[in-house]
Structure 1
Amino acid sequence: MRLWHYKLLPVLPDKFIIAEWRECIAIKRQWEKGTLKHRLVSYVEKYDKDMFGWYVYNVRLELIKRKIKFQEKLFSEILEFCKDSDNHSCYPEHNDRYLRQCYYNLQEKYDRGIITSAEYNLINKTIGGKIDN
């Protein structure tokens, strides 16, 4: 379970953006129940819910852009949960270091044959040159 760095959302392979949508739904449900314990995403609870709403909104935009079907009702539920405020920023954790971590995670997925050359080339072309080693 993870929230990919927001700058990667436009270049994630379709199966990853679909999985991210599902992750967002799972995070919202666990957060509501007070059972959000996964270390890679539990940081979201430290902040206003509107940051989560902003992130989910951007995932939704990618789904729409790619013509991937999803349940709009679930998005409405997340907005209600987040109270749809005016915050248009992402988590401080989504910094350059986290972008590198996510990029290298995707690089490993390419190395293991989980994503295609075309998918990785798009990621690398868009993000790879912005990664400091």
Structure 2
Amino acid sequence: MRLWHQDLLPFLPRAQLLGQHRECCALRGKGWGKKHSTVDYVFAYNVEKLVSFHRLVLKEMERRGYNPDQKWYGPEYRGKNIGPWAGLALRKLDIPTSAHIYTEHNRAYLEECLENLRQKGIELKVPFKEDSCPP
């Protein structure tokens, strides 16, 4: 389980992008709050950040011609097998794509993600600017 660095979303191969959607769905659903070393940082924030990150994934999917279920754009939606968020004051957020939703998505995490992809045989040619993500 992993959330890829936000800046990698437009460059991820099909399988990793669709896998990212599944991860976001799982985290928003019954996986919310379940410990896992690579995504524990997500639970330190309000769920709105996860919803905003998931929206970036959904927009990238649509840009590539996929048709994700539009229900996932609703901040309260958690999937078919669990009810909406209860007792949370969720608002519709659209964090600009230039903003980094999670502070953990820094340069070191970017390198960690790129190395993880290399280990899977995926070498991304990503045109990054030096100041594209926080140190």
* TM range, smaller chain: 0.7 to 0.9
Counterpart code for 1:55? F
Gap regions ≥5 residues in structure 1: none
Higher deviation after alignment, 61-70 or 4-13:
61-70
- Report the Cα distance in structure 1 between the residues aligned to 2:73 and 2:49, rounded to whole angstroms: 14
Measure, in 1, the Cα distance between the counterparts of 2:65 and 2:39: 27
Highest RCO, 1 vs 2 (Cα 8 Å, sep ≥ 6): 1
More helix by share: 1
Provide the rounded CA distance (Å) in 2 between the counterparts of 1:84 and 1:72. 17
Give the equivalent residue in structure 1 for 2:117.
106
1:57 to partner: Cα distance: 0.8
Runs (4+) of structure 1 moved beyond 6 Å? none
- Residue correspondences, number: 115
Aligned to 2:127: 126
Secondary structure, counterpart of 1:124 in structure 2: coil
Equivalent position of 1:45 in the other structure? 43
- For residue 74 of structure 1, report the CA deviation from its aligned partner: 3.2
User: 1:126 offset after TM fit, Å?
Assistant: 2.7
**What RMSD, in angstroms, separates the aligned Cα atoms of the two structures?**
2.2
Unaligned 5+ segments in structure 2 are: 79-83, 131-135
Q: Percent identity?
A: 32
Q: TM-score scaled by structure 2?
A: 0.74
TM-score computed with the length of structure 1 as normaliser: 0.75
Q: Does 1:75 pair with 2:86?
A: no
